[in-house]
């Protein structure tokens, strides 16, 4: 029997264990309340659903162009033009199978085995794990509250040598924090000057709260405003409430496109075509009004958590600038156990599921948890009530 490849020996996504335990608990008790999933609790917007039905009736739904159908690439380009006032056209856009598919393609197109790629810690674990499976050397930058848990040029300057690439996310998962526009621009310039590729994960754009001047949270900005040699990653999964449709995209530097074309055509042929035809309708006014309604609900949920958690003695929270997460330090509540065991006990005792920090932070994740507020306001309120009843009185 052939053994597993060495490259497959990467970390699993530990939050899946929480999902499994929550599903078992739901079967046995029927009382699960989950703030563990990083996805909206709402379906795709109505015009997208209508377009999907129409596409099923009227389109062949065979393979499409490898980089995606032109009407979708045009919509995505227009979205970037209007949101950031930058010059983007359909040729700049590569549609992919989720942003997850975009990451794999970019990493393959730009990095070789042994190349050093820098990521933030805490951060989204799939960057680290996918890069490791591809044979890259992953260097984690220790990012703390002083820099909103985000990497800076100063941190890159301290490396022994410029890395082949750096992956940043703003707003980030698990912290929800954003990078100051001037810092993102500086990172893009530094990468250009040092021959490093900046991969800017912008998939949570559209879900930002009280950002910009005078609010305490950075304004939204895009790496392409500074450098078209960087890669911008987008997705319909978060703001657009379409996780399972598996569509993402990238704004790719012109020089990278031939490699992306070779890789994508061989690896996936094209992204799912029914999702592409449907997603064309995700950028119109009707869909955006519905989606902005979700963001208003996230804002209410976020407020509830930012006020409610400190009342329970959970005061060390990352600034939740965007996305739909609150990342909390629970170190003071742990009596020798780690966050995984704490979350398991919480689920066992109350039916409330949270994501332990171990996925996101290989060093301090044993003392943190992530609460997703993408669900209903009633769920967030009930979650706070269950926590209040369960936590020891301080
Ligand atoms: C920061 C970040 N990037 C990328 C992804 C992958 O998203 P998708 O493949 O659904 O576009 C996620 C999913 O949670 C994420 O949080």
From 36, 40, 124, give the residue whose CB has the most ligand 1 atoms within 8 Å, as the site to mutate.
124
User: How many percent of the chain have pLDDT more than 90?
Assistant: 93
From 36, 99, 243, 268, give the residue whose CB has the most ligand 1 atoms within 8 Å, as the site to mutate.
99
Atom of ligand 1 nearest to the CA of 123: 1
**By the 8 A CB rule, do 187 and 141 touch?**
no
Q: Could you give the residue ranges of the DSSP H alpha helices within 150-256?
A: 153-157, 181-194
pLDDT value, residue 201: 98
Q: Decide if pLDDT at 394 tops 70.
A: no
What spacing in Å lies between the alpha carbon of 169 and ligand 1's midpoint?
10
Predicted confidence (pLDDT) per residue in 93-105, tens digit:
999 999 999 999 9
Determine if ligand 1 sits within 6 Å of the CB of residue 237: yes
The ranges of the chain annotated as CATH 3.40.640.10 are: 6-43+287-390, 48-284
Determine if ligand 1 sits within 6 Å of the CB of residue 166: no
Q: Decide if pLDDT at 342 tops 70.
A: yes
pLDDT value, residue 367: 97
pLDDT value, residue 15: 87
Predicted confidence (pLDDT) per residue in 86-143, tens digit:
999 999 999 999 999 999 999 999 999 999 999 999 999 999 999 999 999 999 999 9
Task: Identify which of 352, 354, 255 has the alpha carbon closest to the alpha carbon of residue 25.
Answer: 352
**By the 8 A CB rule, do 385 and 375 touch?**
no
Query: What is the arithmetic mean of pLDDT over 193-207?
Result: 98
Query: What is the arithmetic mean of pLDDT over 342-350?
Result: 95
What spacing in Å lies between the alpha carbon of 338 and ligand 1's midpoint?
25
Which position has the token pair 């450098």? 227
Determine if ligand 1 sits within 6 Å of the CB of residue 322: no
The b/e string for 111-144 (b: 16+ C-beta within 10 A; e otherwise) is beeebbbbbbbbbbbbbbbbbbbbebebebbebe
What spacing in Å lies between the alpha carbon of 181 and ligand 1's midpoint?
21
Atom of ligand 1 nearest to the CA of 101: 9
> Can you say how many angstroms the Cα of residue 24 is from the centroid of all Cα atoms in its chain?
27
Determine if ligand 1 sits within 6 Å of the CB of residue 122: no
Determine if ligand 1 sits within 6 Å of the CB of residue 123: no
Q: What is the DSSP code string of 304-338?
A: HHHHHHHHTT---B----BTTEEEEE-GGG-SS--
For 61-214, strand residue ranges (E) read 93-96, 116-121, 137-142, 165-169, 197-201
Cα 292–Cα 297–Cα 300 angle in degrees, nearest 5: 130
The CATH-assigned architecture of domain 6-43+287-390 is: 3-Layer(aba) Sandwich (3.40)
Q: Whose CA is nearest to atom 14 of ligand 1?
A: 38
Q: Decide if pLDDT at 382 tops 70.
A: yes
| Whole-number Cα distances in Å, 294 to 22, 148, 207, 287, 306 | 25, 25, 9, 11, 18
User: How many percent of the chain have pLDDT more than 70?
Assistant: 100
What spacing in Å lies between the alpha carbon of 328 and ligand 1's midpoint?
20
Backbone angle region of 264, left / alpha / beta, with phi > 0 → left and psi within -120 to 50 → alpha: alpha
Q: Which fold has domain 48-284?
A: 3.40.640
Burial of 348 (0-12, 13-18, 19+ CB in 10 A): exposed
Element (H, E) at 369: strand 368-372
Query: What is the arithmetic mean of pLDDT over 354-372?
Result: 96
Calpha distance 354→345 (Å, rounded): 11
Q: Whose CA is nearest to atom 13 of ligand 1?
A: 38
Predicted confidence (pLDDT) per residue in 226-277, tens digit:
999 999 999 999 999 999 999 999 999 999 999 999 999 999 999 999 999 9
Q: What is the mean pLDDT of the chain?
A: 96
């Amino acid at each position: 029997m052939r053994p597993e490849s060495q490259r497959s020996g990467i970390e699993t996504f530990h939050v899946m264990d929480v999902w499994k335990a929550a599903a078992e608990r739901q079967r046995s008790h029927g009382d699960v309340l989950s703030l563990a999933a990083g996805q909206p609790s709402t379906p795709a917007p109505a015009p997208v659903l209508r377009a999907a039905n129409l596409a099923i009736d009227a389109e062949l739904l065979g393979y499409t162009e490898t980089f995606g159908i032109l009407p979708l690439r045009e919509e995505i380009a227009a979205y970037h033009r209007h949101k950031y006032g930058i010059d983007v056209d359909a040729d700049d856009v590569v549609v992919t199978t989720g942003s997850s598919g975009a990451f794999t393609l970019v990493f393959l197109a730009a990095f070789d085995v042994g190349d050093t790629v820098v990521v933030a810690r805490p951060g989204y674990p799939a960057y680290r794990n996918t890069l490791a499976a591809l044979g890259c050397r992953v260097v984690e930058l220790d990012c703390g509250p002083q820099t909103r848990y985000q990497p800076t040029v100063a941190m890159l300057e301290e490396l022994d040598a410029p890395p082949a690439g750096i992956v940043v996310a703003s707003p980030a998962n698990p912290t929800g924090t954003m990078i100051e526009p001037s810092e993102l621009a500086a990172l893009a310039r530094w990468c250009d000057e040092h021959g490093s590729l900046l991969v800017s994960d912008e998939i949570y754009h559209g879900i930002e709260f009280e950002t910009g001047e005078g609010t305490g949270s950075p304004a939204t900005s895009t790496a392409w405003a500074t450098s078209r040699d960087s890669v911008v990653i987008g997705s319909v999964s978060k703001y657009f409430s379409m996780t399972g449709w598996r569509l993402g995209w990238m704004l790719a530097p012109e020089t990278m496109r031939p490699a992306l074309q070779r890789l994508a055509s061989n690896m996936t042929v094209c992204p799912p075509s029914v999702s592409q035809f449907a997603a064309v309708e995700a950028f119109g006014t009707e869909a955006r009004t519905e989606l902005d309604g979700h963001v208003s609900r996230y804002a209410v949920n976020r407020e509830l958590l930012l006020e409610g958690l400190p009342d329970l003695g959970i005061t060390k929270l990352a600034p939740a600038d965007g996305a739909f997460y609150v990342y909390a330090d629970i170190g003071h509540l742990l009596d020798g156990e780690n966050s995984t065991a704490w979350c398991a006990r919480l689920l066992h005792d109350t039916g409330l599921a949270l994501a332990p920090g171990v996925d996101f932070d290989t060093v301090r994740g044993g003392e943190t948890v992530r609460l997703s507020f993408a669900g209903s306001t009633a769920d967030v309120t009930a979650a706070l009530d269950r926590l209040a009843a369960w936590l020891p009185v301080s």
